[in-house]
């Protein structure tokens, strides 16, 4: 009976030793397999970024200690710096919404190097100083460009006056007219507009029918000026003397220019022999000697 108990106790004492051997053998196999596959495991960790994650966690877990004698960093224990917008004494200054400049201290303006003289550009012309001829925005004001006065010249215009005997008399009037570069055209257009106020005060009138105008620019060939008038030019209510007076006004005004000696009249672009029903002849160029 005693022999059976001793054999059972020996068996139970051998079981832990066999288990340890099995665990040791399994650990050895795992270690050998891990060691053989270590390069592949490292490559996998580097490719997946797991090794960087482990390094980051390790650096966070154990921050490097500051060297002896160095100043404490901002993360060291101690009184925290007052947040932006906090005034001395712990009073929080709240700026209006959207106005961050209320909390910022004004930066001192840098002093110019070498004194307070204004800078000069490369060409030597001094730059404009603020406040002298400049608006509040700082940009210099441009001087208002003066509108050039229109060019004028003195022209010799011929009108008529009816004297006490009823005779139509030619009268020259010299006055300033706009100068567009076509002097003869300018003079004729001024004549067709009629006398001005000062000329009317001198009892001057125009025998040219109202509504008469030039249909095309004046054409000069040699010493002959060809003038093309509209249909209104051939109707004069003053009769034959009126036709003669209107033609003379045109001829004397045109021949006031040294380059013109006679005038060829056209009506609506056509050369006609007579004006009106009474028939004043205009079939050829007319000069001052034609009357």
| HEC readout, the chain | CHHHHHHHHHHHHHHHHHHHHHHHHHHHHHHHHHHHCHHHHHHHHHHHCHHHHHHHHHHHHCCCCCCCCCCCCCCCCCCCCCCCCEECCCEECCCCCCCHHHCCCCCCCCCCCCCCCCCCCCCCCCCCCCCCCCCCCCCCCCCCCCCCCCCEEEEEEEEEEECCCCCEEEEEEEEEEECCCCHHHHHHHHHHHCCCHHHHHCCCECCCCCCCCECCCCEEECCEEEEEECHHHHCCCCHHHHHHHHHHHHHHHHCCCCCCCEEEEEECCECCCEECCCCEECCCCECHHHC
Q: Model-level pTM?
A: 0.51
CA pair distance 213, 228, nearest whole angstrom: 9
Which residues, listed in sequence order, are joined to residue 156 by a DSSP beta bridge? 174
Q: Which of 63-72, 248-257, 278-287 has the highest mean pLDDT?
A: 248-257
Among 69-73, 110-114, 247-251, 276-280, where is mean pLDDT lowest?
69-73
The 10s digit of each residue's pLDDT in 137-176 is 555 565 566 777 788 999 999 999 999 888 999 999 999 9
pLDDT tens digits, 8-50: 555 555 555 777 788 888 888 888 877 787 777 777 777 777 6
Alpha-carbon distance of 8 to 146, in angstroms, equals 130
| Phi, psi dihedral angles at 149 (to 5 degrees) | -70, 140
Q: Give the C-alpha separation, 284 to 41, whole Å.
A: 119
User: How far apart (Å, rounded) are the C-alpha atoms in residues 180 and 109?
Assistant: 58
Calculate Rg over the CA atoms of the chain. 57
Average pLDDT along the chain: 75
Q: Which two tokens stand for residue 276?
A: 């009106």
Q: How confident is the model at residue 251 (pLDDT cuts 50, 70, 90)?
A: very high
Cβ atoms 272, 234 nearer than 8 A: yes
283 compared with 70, residue with greater pLDDT: 283
Distance CA 113, CA 171 (A): 78
Q: Both tokens of residue 6? A: 């001793």
Q: Is the dihedral of CA 190, 192, 193, 197 positive or negative?
A: positive
């Amino acid at each position: 009976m005693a022999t059976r108990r001793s054999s059972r106790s020996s068996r139970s004492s051998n079981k832990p030793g066999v288990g340890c051997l099995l665990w040791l053998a399994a650990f050895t196999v795992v270690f050998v397999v891990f060691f053989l596959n270590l390069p592949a495991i490292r490559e996998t960790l580097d490719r997946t970024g797991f090794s960087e994650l482990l390094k980051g966690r390790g650096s966070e877990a154990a921050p490097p200690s500051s060297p002896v004698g160095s100043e404490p960093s901002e993360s060291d224990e101690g009184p925290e710096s007052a947040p932006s917008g906090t005034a001395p004494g712990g009073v929080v200054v709240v700026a209006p919404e959207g106005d961050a400049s209320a909390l910022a201290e004004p930066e001192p303006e840098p002093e110019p190097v070498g004194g307070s003289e204004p800078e000069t550009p490369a060409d030597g012309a001094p730059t404009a100083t603020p406040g002298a001829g400049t608006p509040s925005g700082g940009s210099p004001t441009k001087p208002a460009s003066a509108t050039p006065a229109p060019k004028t010249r003195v022209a010799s215009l011929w009108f008529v006056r009816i004297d006490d005997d009823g005779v139509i008399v030619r009268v020259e009037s010299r006055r300033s007219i706009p100068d567009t570069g076509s002097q003869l055209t300018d003079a004729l257009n001024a004549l067709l507009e009629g006398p001005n106020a000062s000329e009317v005060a001198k009892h001057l009138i125009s025998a040219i029918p109202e509504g008469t105008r030039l249909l095309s620019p004046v054409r000069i060939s040699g010493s002959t000026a060809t003038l093309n008038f509209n249909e209104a030019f051939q109707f004069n209510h003053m009769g034959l003397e009126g036709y003669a007076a209107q033609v003379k006004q045109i001829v004397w005004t045109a021949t006031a220019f040294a380059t013109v000696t006679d005038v060829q009249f056209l009506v609506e672009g056509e050369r006609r022999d007579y004006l009106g029903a009474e028939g004043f002849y205009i079939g050829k160029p007319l000069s001052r000697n034609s009357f």
